[in-house]
Amino acid sequence: MSLISTKIILDNADKNGYAVGAFNINDMEFLQAIFSAALAEKSPIIIAASEGAMKYAGAGMIYSMVKTISDAHPDIPVALHLDHGSNLSAVMTAIRAGFTSVMIDASHFPFEENLKITKQVVNICRPLGISVEAELGRLKGIEDNVSVAERDAVLVNPEEAIDFVSASGIDFLAPAIGTSHGAFKFKGEAKLDFERLKKVKELTGIPLVLHGASSVPEAASKKFEEFGGDLKGAKGVPFDVLKEAIKYGINKVNTDTDLRISFLARVRESIATDKTQIDPRKIFGPARDYVTEIIRERMKILGSSGRL
Ligand code: PH4
Ligand code: ZN
Protein backbone atom coordinates (compact mmCIF):
# COMPACT_ATOMS: atom_id res chain seq x y z
CA MET A 1 0.00 0.00 0.00
CA SER A 2 1.26 3.50 -0.63
CA LEU A 3 1.94 5.45 2.55
CA ILE A 4 -1.15 7.02 4.07
CA SER A 5 -1.70 9.81 6.54
CA THR A 6 -1.80 9.07 10.26
CA LYS A 7 -5.28 10.62 10.35
CA ILE A 8 -6.73 7.74 8.33
CA ILE A 9 -5.21 5.20 10.74
CA LEU A 10 -6.25 7.08 13.87
CA ASP A 11 -9.80 7.89 12.81
CA ASN A 12 -10.44 4.17 12.54
CA ALA A 13 -8.76 3.52 15.89
CA ASP A 14 -10.83 6.27 17.51
CA LYS A 15 -14.07 4.96 16.05
CA ASN A 16 -13.34 1.43 17.27
CA GLY A 17 -11.73 2.20 20.63
CA TYR A 18 -8.16 1.00 20.19
CA ALA A 19 -4.69 2.55 19.79
CA VAL A 20 -1.93 2.21 17.23
CA GLY A 21 1.75 2.29 18.14
CA ALA A 22 3.95 5.02 16.72
CA PHE A 23 7.34 3.33 16.75
CA ASN A 24 10.49 5.39 16.26
CA ILE A 25 13.18 4.44 13.79
CA ASN A 26 16.68 5.65 13.07
CA ASP A 27 17.89 2.69 11.04
CA MET A 28 16.87 -0.32 8.98
CA GLU A 29 16.80 -2.89 11.78
CA PHE A 30 14.10 -1.17 13.84
CA LEU A 31 12.02 -0.61 10.70
CA GLN A 32 12.24 -4.30 9.79
CA ALA A 33 11.35 -5.27 13.36
CA ILE A 34 8.24 -3.06 13.25
CA PHE A 35 7.14 -4.54 9.92
CA SER A 36 7.70 -8.13 11.06
CA ALA A 37 5.52 -7.40 14.09
CA ALA A 38 2.83 -5.71 11.97
CA LEU A 39 2.73 -8.67 9.57
CA ALA A 40 2.54 -11.21 12.38
CA GLU A 41 -0.12 -9.23 14.28
CA LYS A 42 -2.01 -7.92 11.24
CA SER A 43 -1.71 -4.43 12.66
CA PRO A 44 -1.58 -0.96 11.08
CA ILE A 45 1.57 0.99 11.98
CA ILE A 46 2.85 4.52 12.34
CA ILE A 47 6.57 4.85 11.68
CA ALA A 48 7.91 7.86 13.59
CA ALA A 49 11.15 9.68 12.83
CA SER A 50 12.36 12.63 14.88
CA GLU A 51 14.56 15.50 13.78
CA GLY A 52 17.38 13.53 15.39
CA ALA A 53 16.50 10.57 13.17
CA MET A 54 16.50 12.77 10.05
CA LYS A 55 19.90 14.08 11.07
CA TYR A 56 21.27 10.60 11.78
CA ALA A 57 19.97 8.77 8.72
CA GLY A 58 18.80 11.52 6.37
CA ALA A 59 15.13 12.27 5.71
CA GLY A 60 15.41 10.87 2.17
CA MET A 61 16.96 7.65 3.41
CA ILE A 62 14.21 7.21 6.00
CA TYR A 63 11.51 7.81 3.40
CA SER A 64 13.12 5.43 0.89
CA MET A 65 13.42 2.61 3.42
CA VAL A 66 9.85 3.02 4.62
CA LYS A 67 8.49 3.29 1.07
CA THR A 68 10.43 0.23 -0.10
CA ILE A 69 9.31 -2.00 2.75
CA SER A 70 5.70 -0.80 2.67
CA ASP A 71 5.50 -1.38 -1.11
CA ALA A 72 6.59 -4.94 -0.44
CA HIS A 73 3.74 -5.39 2.06
CA PRO A 74 0.73 -3.70 0.50
CA ASP A 75 -1.71 -5.12 3.07
CA ILE A 76 -0.27 -3.12 5.97
CA PRO A 77 -1.55 0.46 6.39
CA VAL A 78 1.55 2.58 7.11
CA ALA A 79 2.03 6.25 7.92
CA LEU A 80 5.42 7.98 8.03
CA HIS A 81 5.28 10.64 10.73
CA LEU A 82 7.69 13.41 11.76
CA ASP A 83 7.98 13.20 15.55
CA HIS A 84 8.45 16.45 17.54
CA GLY A 85 9.18 18.75 14.59
CA SER A 86 10.37 21.89 16.35
CA ASN A 87 9.95 24.42 13.54
CA LEU A 88 8.73 25.02 10.01
CA SER A 89 12.05 24.12 8.48
CA ALA A 90 12.01 20.60 10.03
CA VAL A 91 8.41 20.15 8.87
CA MET A 92 9.34 21.18 5.31
CA THR A 93 12.30 18.78 5.27
CA ALA A 94 9.97 15.92 6.20
CA ILE A 95 7.29 16.95 3.68
CA ARG A 96 9.78 17.31 0.84
CA ALA A 97 11.17 13.86 1.65
CA GLY A 98 7.69 12.30 1.38
CA PHE A 99 6.47 12.00 4.99
CA THR A 100 2.67 11.64 5.18
CA SER A 101 2.21 13.09 8.65
CA VAL A 102 3.93 15.63 10.90
CA MET A 103 3.99 16.75 14.50
CA ILE A 104 4.71 20.40 15.12
CA ASP A 105 5.83 20.68 18.72
CA ALA A 106 5.69 24.31 19.77
CA SER A 107 4.39 23.35 23.22
CA HIS A 108 7.28 25.14 24.97
CA PHE A 109 5.96 28.46 23.62
CA PRO A 110 3.07 30.36 25.20
CA PHE A 111 -0.40 29.29 23.97
CA GLU A 112 -0.80 32.01 21.31
CA GLU A 113 2.63 31.38 19.81
CA ASN A 114 2.06 27.60 19.81
CA LEU A 115 -1.26 28.19 18.04
CA LYS A 116 0.24 30.56 15.47
CA ILE A 117 3.03 28.15 14.45
CA THR A 118 0.65 25.17 14.44
CA LYS A 119 -1.82 27.00 12.19
CA GLN A 120 0.96 27.74 9.69
CA VAL A 121 1.79 24.03 9.57
CA VAL A 122 -1.87 23.04 9.14
CA ASN A 123 -2.21 25.54 6.27
CA ILE A 124 0.72 23.92 4.48
CA CYS A 125 -0.26 20.31 5.20
CA ARG A 126 -4.03 20.32 4.73
CA PRO A 127 -4.00 20.78 0.90
CA LEU A 128 -1.36 18.03 0.64
CA GLY A 129 -3.37 15.48 2.63
CA ILE A 130 -0.66 15.38 5.29
CA SER A 131 -1.97 15.03 8.84
CA VAL A 132 -0.85 17.28 11.70
CA GLU A 133 -0.28 16.60 15.39
CA ALA A 134 0.44 19.27 18.00
CA GLU A 135 1.09 19.21 21.74
CA LEU A 136 -0.32 21.08 24.74
CA GLY A 137 1.37 21.08 28.12
CA ARG A 138 4.86 19.81 28.93
CA LEU A 139 6.15 16.25 28.92
CA LYS A 140 7.19 15.96 32.52
CA GLY A 141 6.53 13.34 35.15
CA ILE A 142 4.26 14.62 37.91
CA GLU A 143 4.78 13.45 41.45
CA ASP A 144 1.92 12.74 43.83
CA ASN A 145 2.70 15.51 46.28
CA VAL A 146 2.83 18.48 43.89
CA SER A 147 0.29 21.27 44.29
CA VAL A 148 -2.68 21.83 41.98
CA ALA A 149 -1.01 25.02 40.72
CA GLU A 150 2.14 23.09 39.81
CA ARG A 151 0.12 20.43 37.99
CA ASP A 152 -1.80 23.12 36.11
CA ALA A 153 1.45 24.76 35.06
CA VAL A 154 2.75 21.57 33.44
CA LEU A 155 -0.21 19.48 32.28
CA VAL A 156 -2.73 20.20 29.52
CA ASN A 157 -5.53 22.64 30.25
CA PRO A 158 -8.71 21.05 28.81
CA GLU A 159 -10.40 24.42 28.22
CA GLU A 160 -7.39 25.58 26.21
CA ALA A 161 -7.41 22.28 24.31
CA ILE A 162 -10.83 22.89 22.79
CA ASP A 163 -9.87 26.44 21.70
CA PHE A 164 -6.58 25.17 20.31
CA VAL A 165 -8.11 22.32 18.33
CA SER A 166 -10.89 24.37 16.80
CA ALA A 167 -8.66 27.36 15.97
CA SER A 168 -5.78 25.33 14.54
CA GLY A 169 -7.60 22.55 12.67
CA ILE A 170 -5.11 19.87 13.78
CA ASP A 171 -6.00 16.22 13.21
CA PHE A 172 -4.83 14.81 16.55
CA LEU A 173 -3.53 16.23 19.80
CA ALA A 174 -0.89 15.19 22.33
CA PRO A 175 -2.13 16.36 25.75
CA ALA A 176 0.45 16.24 28.56
CA ILE A 177 -1.06 14.09 31.33
CA GLY A 178 2.02 13.12 33.32
CA THR A 179 4.28 11.01 31.13
CA SER A 180 7.82 11.83 30.05
CA HIS A 181 10.30 10.50 27.51
CA GLY A 182 12.92 7.91 28.42
CA ALA A 183 13.29 5.04 30.87
CA PHE A 184 12.80 6.96 34.13
CA LYS A 185 9.24 8.23 34.11
CA PHE A 186 8.00 7.88 37.66
CA LYS A 187 9.67 7.95 41.07
CA GLY A 188 6.69 6.49 42.90
CA GLU A 189 3.54 4.94 41.50
CA ALA A 190 2.95 5.30 37.76
CA LYS A 191 -0.02 7.66 37.77
CA LEU A 192 -1.50 9.65 34.90
CA ASP A 193 -4.08 12.42 35.12
CA PHE A 194 -7.05 10.55 33.66
CA GLU A 195 -9.57 13.21 34.69
CA ARG A 196 -7.78 15.69 32.44
CA LEU A 197 -7.56 13.13 29.65
CA LYS A 198 -11.29 12.37 29.80
CA LYS A 199 -12.10 16.06 29.70
CA VAL A 200 -9.84 16.75 26.73
CA LYS A 201 -11.41 13.87 24.82
CA GLU A 202 -14.92 14.93 25.67
CA LEU A 203 -14.27 18.54 24.64
CA THR A 204 -12.20 18.00 21.49
CA GLY A 205 -13.56 14.68 20.18
CA ILE A 206 -10.41 14.00 18.12
CA PRO A 207 -7.80 11.21 18.37
CA LEU A 208 -5.35 11.78 21.23
CA VAL A 209 -1.69 10.84 21.53
CA LEU A 210 0.31 9.59 24.49
CA HIS A 211 3.96 10.56 24.28
CA GLY A 212 6.47 8.98 26.63
CA ALA A 213 4.33 5.84 26.64
CA SER A 214 7.00 3.14 26.81
CA SER A 215 6.43 0.48 29.44
CA VAL A 216 10.11 -0.43 30.08
CA PRO A 217 9.36 -4.17 29.94
CA GLU A 218 10.78 -6.11 32.86
CA ALA A 219 12.33 -9.00 30.93
CA ALA A 220 14.20 -6.71 28.52
CA SER A 221 15.40 -4.46 31.35
CA LYS A 222 16.60 -7.50 33.30
CA LYS A 223 18.50 -8.76 30.30
CA PHE A 224 20.01 -5.30 29.79
CA GLU A 225 21.32 -5.37 33.38
CA GLU A 226 22.30 -9.05 33.38
CA PHE A 227 24.76 -8.29 30.60
CA GLY A 228 26.41 -5.28 32.17
CA GLY A 229 23.97 -2.40 31.64
CA ASP A 230 22.56 -0.17 34.36
CA LEU A 231 18.89 0.81 34.40
CA LYS A 232 18.41 1.14 38.13
CA GLY A 233 15.22 2.98 38.98
CA ALA A 234 13.80 2.70 35.45
CA LYS A 235 10.01 2.75 35.35
CA GLY A 236 7.61 2.99 32.41
CA VAL A 237 3.87 3.13 31.90
CA PRO A 238 2.52 -0.27 33.04
CA PHE A 239 0.27 -2.16 30.62
CA ASP A 240 -2.86 -1.74 32.78
CA VAL A 241 -2.33 2.05 32.92
CA LEU A 242 -1.82 2.10 29.16
CA LYS A 243 -5.06 0.18 28.64
CA GLU A 244 -6.92 2.64 30.84
CA ALA A 245 -5.50 5.58 28.87
CA ILE A 246 -6.76 3.95 25.67
CA LYS A 247 -10.18 3.47 27.23
CA TYR A 248 -10.33 7.23 27.90
CA GLY A 249 -9.40 8.27 24.37
CA ILE A 250 -5.72 7.71 23.58
CA ASN A 251 -5.37 6.38 20.01
CA LYS A 252 -1.65 6.83 19.27
CA VAL A 253 0.93 5.42 21.65
CA ASN A 254 4.47 6.70 21.12
CA THR A 255 7.07 4.06 21.78
CA ASP A 256 10.81 4.47 21.41
CA THR A 257 12.51 3.61 24.70
CA ASP A 258 11.15 0.02 24.81
CA LEU A 259 12.67 -0.67 21.40
CA ARG A 260 15.99 0.86 22.39
CA ILE A 261 16.23 -1.11 25.63
CA SER A 262 15.26 -4.42 24.06
CA PHE A 263 17.56 -4.03 21.05
CA LEU A 264 20.55 -3.12 23.18
CA ALA A 265 19.77 -5.76 25.82
CA ARG A 266 20.03 -8.41 23.10
CA VAL A 267 23.14 -6.80 21.60
CA ARG A 268 24.73 -6.88 25.06
CA GLU A 269 23.82 -10.54 25.44
CA SER A 270 25.36 -11.49 22.08
CA ILE A 271 28.53 -9.55 22.70
CA ALA A 272 28.94 -11.02 26.18
CA THR A 273 28.26 -14.62 25.18
CA ASP A 274 29.91 -14.78 21.75
CA LYS A 275 33.20 -13.02 22.29
CA THR A 276 34.81 -13.95 18.98
CA GLN A 277 31.92 -12.81 16.82
CA ILE A 278 32.94 -10.20 14.23
CA ASP A 279 29.90 -10.38 11.95
CA PRO A 280 27.50 -7.53 12.89
CA ARG A 281 24.61 -9.44 11.29
CA LYS A 282 25.00 -12.13 13.97
CA ILE A 283 24.64 -9.42 16.63
CA PHE A 284 21.97 -7.18 15.06
CA GLY A 285 19.82 -10.01 13.65
CA PRO A 286 18.83 -11.54 17.01
CA ALA A 287 18.44 -8.03 18.48
CA ARG A 288 16.06 -7.14 15.66
CA ASP A 289 14.03 -10.32 16.35
CA TYR A 290 13.84 -9.45 20.03
CA VAL A 291 12.48 -5.98 19.18
CA THR A 292 9.81 -7.68 17.03
CA GLU A 293 8.70 -9.74 20.06
CA ILE A 294 8.45 -6.63 22.23
CA ILE A 295 6.40 -4.80 19.59
CA ARG A 296 4.06 -7.75 19.07
CA GLU A 297 3.32 -7.88 22.79
CA ARG A 298 2.60 -4.16 22.70
CA MET A 299 0.28 -4.35 19.68
CA LYS A 300 -1.84 -6.85 21.58
CA ILE A 301 -2.06 -4.49 24.57
CA LEU A 302 -2.93 -1.49 22.37
CA GLY A 303 -5.63 -3.47 20.59
CA SER A 304 -4.19 -2.85 17.11
CA SER A 305 -3.60 -6.59 16.46
CA GLY A 306 -6.01 -8.02 13.91
CA ARG A 307 -7.22 -4.62 12.68
CA LEU A 308 -6.29 -4.89 8.98
N1 PH4 B 1 8.87 10.07 21.39
C2 PH4 B 1 10.19 9.66 20.91
C3 PH4 B 1 11.15 10.82 20.81
C4 PH4 B 1 12.51 10.43 20.28
O5 PH4 B 1 15.17 12.96 19.48
P6 PH4 B 1 14.81 11.53 19.67
O7 PH4 B 1 14.92 10.73 18.39
O8 PH4 B 1 15.54 10.86 20.81
O9 PH4 B 1 13.25 11.59 20.04
O10 PH4 B 1 8.25 11.08 20.79
C11 PH4 B 1 8.22 9.45 22.45
O12 PH4 B 1 7.19 9.95 22.93
C13 PH4 B 1 8.80 8.18 23.00
O14 PH4 B 1 8.41 7.90 24.34
P15 PH4 B 1 9.24 6.80 25.19
O16 PH4 B 1 10.54 7.43 25.56
O17 PH4 B 1 8.40 6.52 26.37
O18 PH4 B 1 9.40 5.61 24.31
ZN1 ZN C 1 7.40 12.25 22.25
Question: For residue 62, what is the domain's CATH number?
Answer: 3.20.20.70
Mean pLDDT of the chain: 97
Q: How many angstroms separate the CA atoms of 269 and 287, rounded?
A: 9
Q: Would you place residue 1 in the very low, low, confident or very high pLDDT band (cuts 50, 70, 90)?
A: low
| Whether residue 216 has its Cβ less than 6 Å from ligand 1 | no
Identify whether 308 is part of a domain: no
Count of domains observed in the chain: 1
Residue 69 lies in a domain: yes
Asked if the structure places residue 207 within a domain, the reply is: yes
Q: What is the pLDDT of residues 24-75, one digit of tens each?
A: 999 999 999 999 999 999 999 999 999 999 999 999 999 999 999 999 999 9
Position 170 scores a pLDDT of 98
**What's the CA-to-centroid distance between 26 and ligand 1, angstroms?**
11
Looking at the domain assignment, is residue 248 inside a domain?
yes
User: Considering the chain, what percentage of its residues have pLDDT values greater than 70?
Assistant: 99
pLDDT class of 141 with cuts at 50, 70, 90: confident
Q: Is 307 part of a structural domain of the chain?
A: no
Task: Give this prediction's pTM.
Answer: 0.97
Residue whose CA is closest, atom 4 of ligand 1? Answer: 50
Out of 14, 83, 193, 258, the active site residue is 83
Q: Which helix (H) or strand (E) holds 70?
A: helix 59-72
Residue 298, CA distances (Å) to 16, 59, 74, 188, 278 in order: 18, 27, 22, 23, 32
Ligand 2 centroid – CA 64 distance (Å): 23
Pocket mutation for ligand 1, best pick of 181, 216, 298 (most atoms within 8 Å of C-beta) = 181
What residues contact residue 165 under an 8 Å CB cut-off, 6+ apart? 173, 204, 206
Question: 67-121, pLDDT tens digit by residue?
Answer: 999 999 999 999 999 999 999 999 999 999 999 999 999 999 999 999 999 999 9
CA of 50 to the centre of ligand 1 (A): 8
- Specify whether the CB–CB gap between 10 and 251 falls below 8 A: yes
Which residue range is the domain that position 63 belongs to?
6-302
Residue 181 falls in which region: left (phi positive, over 0), alpha (psi -120 to 50) or beta: beta
- Per-residue confidence (pLDDT) for residue 253, from 0 to 100: 99
Q: What pLDDT, in 10s, does the model give residues 207-245?
A: 999 999 999 999 999 999 999 999 999 999 999 999 999
Ligand 1: residue whose CA is nearest its atom 17? 212
Longest alpha-carbon distance in the chain: 60
Residue 243's nearest CA partner among 176, 173, 299 is 299
What does the pLDDT average to over 10-20?
98
- Is 83 noted as a catalytic residue in this protein? yes
**Ligand 1 pocket residue status of 214, Cβ below 6 Å:** yes
Does residue 147 carry a pLDDT above 90? no
83 C-alpha to ligand 2 centroid (Å): 7
